[in-house]
Amino acid sequence: MIKHKLGLLSEYIVAFYYMLHLFMPIKHRYKVHVGEIDLIMKRLDQLVFIEVKARKRGIEENIITLKQQQRITRASELFLAQHLEYKHCNIRFDLVVVAPYSLPKIIKNAW
């Protein structure tokens, strides 16, 4: 239960951080049968699919597996197929690591 709340809090922190950089939230916890996307944000013609990881020590090696990347990618493809208004947007996949007492670490175009 505590991990779930920490993950949810981390997602809100990241959403707020992106909004400070003029991104508009599109979806939070987008779940479909092929996978889940923590956050979908948009600024101008850039659509960003964001995976948020809450960690005690920050960035670790292999923080996201190839299988997780594939699930997020499949979920993003389904999102785009269902929301044609975003078909002309540039797509990016970010990985954001939230650790205590520091700003979120954003890895743009993580895969």
Burial class (CB in 10 A: 0-12, 13-18, 19+), 26: middle
**What confidence tier does 2 reach under pLDDT thresholds 50, 70, 90?**
low
- The answer to whether the CB of 11 falls within 8 A of the CB of 38 is yes
**Confidence (pLDDT) at 1:** 54
pLDDT tens digits, one per residue of 49-107: 999 998 877 566 778 899 999 999 999 999 999 999 999 999 999 999 998 888 899 99
pLDDT tens digits, one per residue of 5-45: 777 889 999 999 999 999 999 999 999 999 999 999 999 99
**Confidence (pLDDT) at 63:** 84
